[in-house]
C-alpha cells in the first residue's frame, strides 16, 4: 500500500513543469558576458560587441515600444537582452563591414537567443530602453536612463555603412561604429515555454526511498519472527 502511494505521488510530480532556462545562446564575432555592475556610459568599456541577459521570463505589466513604431502588448511573457559596444574618449571602433576588410573591421556581429525576437530598442537617445527599464532591466545592474546618442545613430540595414541591425527568428545581425558615447540596444525575445520535468528523474529517488522503506519493514518483520 505504501509503495503504491509513493508511485502515485511520483506520477503526479512527473507532470509538473520546470521553468525554462532563457539565455543568449551563441555569438559570432561578439561575446556573451555576465550582467555588468553598471551600464552607465563611463563605467564599462569593450573592444568587441558584447551581449548580456537582463530580466528573464517577465510578464509585461504594460505595453513596451520597440523600433518601427510597434509595441509588445502587456501580458506577453518575454526575456530581455542588451547588446553594446562602448569605447573610451578619443578612441573609435567599428564592427559593421560586410566583408570585414575595411579599416581592419572584423565584420558584422550576430547573436542567437533561445526565443523568437519580438522587437529591438535602438532609438538614438535610448528613450525606449529607459522607458522599459522598470520591467526589463537586470536586477544586478545600474542603468543611466536616456542620454544623447545612447542608441544607434543610424539604422540603415540596407547600406550597412554605419549602425544597423536586422533580425529573423531568434538571430540578430548588426553593425556598430562608435566613438564616445557608445551604442546600447535592447533585444526582447519571447520567453521559452516551461519544460516538463522528466518522469524518470523524479521516479528514481522516490523509487529508491520506497525500496529502502520496504527493506526496513522486511527486516523488522524477520526480527519479530
* pLDDT at res. 47: 80
* pLDDT at res. 203: 46
CB of 53 within 8 A of CB of 111?
Answer: no
* pLDDT at res. 225: 58
* pLDDT at res. 116: 96
Residue 122 has pLDDT above 70, yes or no: yes
* pLDDT at res. 32: 94
Specify whether the backbone of 108 is left (phi greater than 0), alpha (psi in -120 to 50) or beta: beta
**What average pLDDT is seen over the chain?**
78
| Grid cell 538614438 in the structure block, residue | 124
pTM assigned to the model: 0.74
The predicted-structure confidence for 68-99, as pLDDT tens digits, reads as follows 889 999 999 999 999 998 877 666 666 654 44
Kindly write down the DSSP assignment for every residue of 177-202, as one continuous string: EESSS-EEEEEEEEPPPPEEPPHHHH
* pLDDT at res. 224: 59
Residue 207 has pLDDT above 60, yes or no: no
The predicted-structure confidence for 5-22, as pLDDT tens digits, reads as follows 444 444 444 444 445 555
Kindly write down the DSSP assignment for every residue of 118-180, as one continuous string: EEEE--TT-HHHHHHHHHHS-TT-B-----TTSS-S---TTT-SSSEEEEETTEEEEEEEESS
* pLDDT at res. 150: 87
Residue 198 has pLDDT above 70, yes or no: no
List all residues 6 or more positions away from 83 whose beta carbon is below 8 Å from its beta carbon. Answer: 30, 49, 50, 51, 111, 172, 174, 184, 185, 186, 187
- Total number of residues shown for the chain: 225
Residues of the chain with pLDDT > 90, as a percent, come to 40
| CA–CA distance, 36 with 46 (Å, rounded to integer) | 12
Amino acid at each position: 500500500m505504501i509503495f503504491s502511494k509513493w508511485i502515485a505521488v511520483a506520477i503526479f510530480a512527473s507532470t509538473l513543469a520546470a521553468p525554462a532556462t532563457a539565455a543568449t545562446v551563441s555569438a559570432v564575432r561578439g561575446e556573451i558576458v555576465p550582467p555588468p555592475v553598471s551600464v552607465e556610459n563611463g563605467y564599462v568599456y569593450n573592444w568587441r560587441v558584447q551581449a548580456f541577459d537582463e530580466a528573464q521570463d517577465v510578464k509585461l505589466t504594460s505595453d513596451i515600444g520597440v523600433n518601427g513604431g510597434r509595441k509588445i502588448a502587456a501580458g506577453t511573457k518575454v526575456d530581455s537582452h542588451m547588446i553594446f559596444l562602448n569605447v573610451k574618449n578619443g578612441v573609435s571602433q567599428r564592427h559593421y563591414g560586410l566583408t570585414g576588410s575595411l579599416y581592419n573591421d572584423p565584420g558584422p556581429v550576430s547573436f542567437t537567443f533561445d526565443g523568437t525576437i519580438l522587437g529591438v530598442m535602438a532609438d538614438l537617445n535610448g528613450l525606449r530602453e529607459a522607458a522599459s527599464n522598470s520591467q526589463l532591466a537586470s536586477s544586478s545592474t545600474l542603468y543611466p536612463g536616456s542620454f544623447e546618442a545612447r542608441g544607434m545613430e543610424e539604422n540603415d540595414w540596407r547600406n550597412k555603412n554605419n549602425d544597423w541591425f536586422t533580425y529573423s527568428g531568434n538571430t540578430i545581425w548588426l553593425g556598430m561604429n562608435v566613438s564616445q558615447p557608445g551604442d546600447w540596444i535592447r533585444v526582447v525575445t519571447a520567453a521559452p515555454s516551461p519544460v516538463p520535468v522528466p518522469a524518470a528523474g523524479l521516479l528514481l529517488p522516490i523509487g529508491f526511498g520506497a525500496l529502502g522503506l520496504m527493506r526496513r519493514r522486511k527486516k523488522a518483520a524477520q526480527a519479530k519472527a
